[in-house]
């Protein structure tokens, strides 16, 4: 191989010959299509010889590229531009799947809660009966005790309530009832990638609406309603990815906009961070109970693998969802319901979730303050995620990967054709900041600030 080899072209005139600089050069070449999926990268020794650096320097650059998912290693065969795809994941979700997590120093890409802050399941499991059973397959889908506990803390008098297998399951089953071919659905942008996938799977059309620090903007919703959507999907608290929580005043503004719509759409609310959010428990169902389906899930507060959420709405809609589930899973395991009821009512579990909420709030404040000391000003988010503006998304990912840190790129969270962000930022990354202990915040803030300026 000579210096004229195309594989060396990205670095022949490279001034920054650090692992970060080398990784950045190859990252740009891959994005530009100069290196195609499946193409083999030059060997570590060839790049090192061409640049006059040590093989260890190039090896570190290759590791950074693998952490971002741009490159895969095939052992002695070498490193290749990533071409493999995980078939059961959509392209949006595929881009969020980490590569080589065991080699990461810190994975902040997955929007998962801190396991150390989840309540202890041991006592609840101990109190569950030793045998799983139900009197009949056609029993009520919700345990009466759990129903009572949920309704006692619901944000408005719910006409009807059931439980489903997580918030996304409930949203999918609701949209299946109302979305037909070509129907429009209003989604937040930035928003949760599976929601975009779901609308597309139902042959619907996404109508994006932007947010500010109080929630979805009324002017954006007003324009979206001109397209007569059949549904609007909102995240009222700790919005993923921005961490915005809707204020009560903003909720009333949105209700006023919805009431003026020619054909009022269904409103589907995903309150996925209820237990750990510091935001007010706001629901448009307080004013529009006849058009709102409200979901509260417990993955962030009590454990992702519980796969259980509560869903309320008009009786006719809830009955339709329950009837459809009877032709599939039937009901959410009553063992899981019993465990959740115990976690929601046992004093030690309640105290653990309260402490988790306090810890997440403190971690967000500490990290935001640390970023400000490096000249990066962002609002303090609610929940466990931070939406960081960056100069160039892929450059930021590579910069952080070189430091052994993984975050999620912002592109999958943005709807196609959405209006530019009001901040004027060129790109974003999502940081699962709830996993960052205060003692680690200064070092991480320094790395995030450098990544924000990379590009």
* Domains, the chain: 6-81 (1.10.10.10), 91-117+349-453 (3.90.1150.10), 122-346 (3.40.640.10)
Per-residue pLDDT of 46-101, as tens digits, reads 999 989 999 989 988 888 888 777 888 777 778 888 875 556 677 677 667 655 55
Confidence category of residue 2, pLDDT binned at 50, 70, 90: very low
pLDDT score of 12: 76
Q: Which residue from 296, 43, 313 is spatially nearest to 153, judged by alpha carbons?
A: 296
Mean pLDDT value of segment 162-171: 96
What's the per-residue H, E or C state across the chain? CCCCCHHHHHHCCCCCCCHHHHHHHHHHHHHCCCCCCCCECCCHHHHHHHHCCCHHHHHHHHHHHHHHCCEEECHHHCEEECCCCCCCCCHHHHCCCCCCHHHCCEEECCCCCCHHHCCCCHHHHHHCCCCCCCCCCCCCCCCHHHHHHHHHCCCCCCCEEEEECCHHHHHHHHHHHHCCCCCEEEEECCCCHHHHHHHHHCCCEEEEECEECCEECHHHHHHHHCCCCCEEEECCCCCCCCCCCCCHHHHHHHHHHHHCCCCCCEEEEEECCCCCCCCCCCCHHHCCCCCEEEEEECHHHHCHHHCCEEEEECHHHHHHHHHHHHCCCCCCCHHHHHHHHHHHHCHHHHHHHHHHHHHHHHHHHHHHHHHHCCCCCCCCCCCCCEEEEECCHHHHHHHHHHCCEEEEECHHHCCCCCCCCCCCCCEEEEECHHHCCHHHHHHHHHHHHHHHHCC
* Contact between residue 310 and residue 163 where contact means Cβ atoms under 8 Å apart: yes
What percent of the chain is predicted at pLDDT more than 90?
66
* pLDDT surpassing 80 at residue 131: no
Per-residue pLDDT of 243-289, as tens digits, reads 999 999 999 999 999 999 988 999 999 999 999 999 999 999 999 99
Mean pLDDT value of segment 8-25: 86
CA distance 116 to 49: 46
pLDDT score of 3: 44
pLDDT score of 159: 95
CA distance 237 to 280: 8
* Contact between residue 237 and residue 269 where contact means Cβ atoms under 8 Å apart: no
pLDDT score of 1: 38
* Contact between residue 297 and residue 304 where contact means Cβ atoms under 8 Å apart: no
Q: Which residue from 41, 36, 43, 47 is spatially nearest to 12, judged by alpha carbons?
A: 47
- In this structure, of 26-35, 181-190, 339-348, the range with the lowest mean pLDDT score is 26-35
Q: Which residue from 167, 169, 161 is spatially nearest to 140, judged by alpha carbons?
A: 161
- CA-only gyration radius of the chain, Å: 24
User: Across the strands, what pairs with 14?
Assistant: none
The answer, as to whether pTM is greater than 0.85, is no
CA distance 298 to 291: 23
Per-residue pLDDT of 275-288, as tens digits, reads 999 999 999 999 99
**Structure tokens belonging to residue 392:** 């160039």
pLDDT score of 98: 54
CA distance 409 to 430: 6
* pLDDT surpassing 90 at residue 420: no
CA distance 107 to 213: 27
CA distance 2 to 158: 71
* pLDDT surpassing 90 at residue 172: yes
What percent of the chain is predicted at pLDDT more than 70?
91
Mean pLDDT of the chain: 90
CA angle 403, 397, 434 (to 5 degrees): 75
Residue corresponding to tokens 């010959």: 17
Per-residue pLDDT of 179-237, as tens digits, reads 998 899 999 999 999 999 999 999 899 999 999 999 999 999 999 999 999 999 999 99
Q: Which residue from 324, 340, 277 is spatially nearest to 119, judged by alpha carbons?
A: 340
Is-cis flag, bond preceding 405, omega within 30?
Answer: no
* pLDDT surpassing 80 at residue 413: yes
């Amino acid at each position: 191989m000579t210096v004229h080899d195309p594989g060396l072209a990205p670095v022949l005139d490279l001034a920054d010959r650090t692992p970060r600089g080398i990784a950045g050069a190859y990252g740009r070449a891959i994005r530009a299509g100069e290196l195609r999926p499946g193409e083999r990268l030059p060997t570590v020794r060839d790049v090192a010889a061409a640049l006059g650096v040590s093989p260890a320097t190039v090896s570190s650059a290759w590791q950074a590229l693998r952490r971002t998912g741009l490159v895969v290693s095939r052992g002695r065969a070498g490193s290749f531009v990533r071409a493999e795809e995980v078939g059961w994941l959509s392209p949006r979700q595929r881009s969020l799947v980490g590569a080589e997590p065991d080699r990461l120093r810190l994975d902040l890409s997955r929007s998962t809660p801190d396991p150390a802050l989840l309540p202890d399941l041991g006592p609840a499991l101990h109190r569950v009966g030793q045998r799983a059973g139900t009197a009949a397959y056609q029993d009520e889908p919700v345990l009466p005790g759990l129903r009572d506990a949920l309704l006692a803390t619901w944000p408005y008098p719910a006409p009807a309530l059931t439980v489903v297998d997580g918030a996304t399951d409930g949203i999918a089953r609701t949209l299946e009832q109302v979305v037909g071919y070509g129907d429009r659905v209003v989604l937040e942008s930035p928003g949760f990638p599976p929601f975009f996938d779901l609308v597309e799977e139902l042959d619907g059309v996404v109508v994006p609406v932007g947010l500010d620090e109080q929630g979805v903007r009324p002017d954006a919703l007003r324009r979206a309603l001109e397209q007569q959507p059949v549904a609007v999907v909102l995240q009222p608290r700790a919005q993923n990815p921005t961490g915005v929580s809707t204020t009560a005043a903003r909720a009333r503004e949105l209700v006023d906009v919805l009431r003026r719509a020619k054909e009022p759409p269904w409103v589907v609310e995903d309150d996925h961070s209820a237990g750990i959010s510091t935001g007010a428990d706001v629901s448009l169902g307080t004013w529009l109970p006849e058009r709102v389906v409200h979901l509260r899930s417990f993955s962030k507060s009590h454990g992702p693998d519980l796969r259980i959420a509560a869903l309320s709405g008009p009786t006719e809609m809830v009955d339709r969802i329950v009837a459809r589930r009877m032709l599939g899973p039937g009901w959410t395991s009553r063992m899981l319901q019993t465990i959740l009821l115990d976690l929601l009512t046992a004093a030690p579990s309640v105290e653990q979730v309260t402490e988790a909420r306090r810890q997440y709030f403190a971690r967000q404040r500490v990290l935001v303050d640390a970023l400000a000391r490096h000249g990066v000003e962002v609002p303090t988010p609610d929940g466990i995620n931070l939406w960081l503006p960056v100069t160039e998304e892929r450059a930021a990912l590579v910069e952080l990967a070189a430091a052994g840190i993984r975050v999620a790129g912002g592109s999958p969270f943005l709807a196609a054709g959405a209006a530019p962000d009001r901040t004027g930022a060129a790109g974003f990354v999502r940081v699962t900041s709830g996993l960052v202990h205060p003692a680690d915040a200064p070092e991480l803030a320094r790395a995030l600030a450098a990544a924000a300026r990379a590009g």
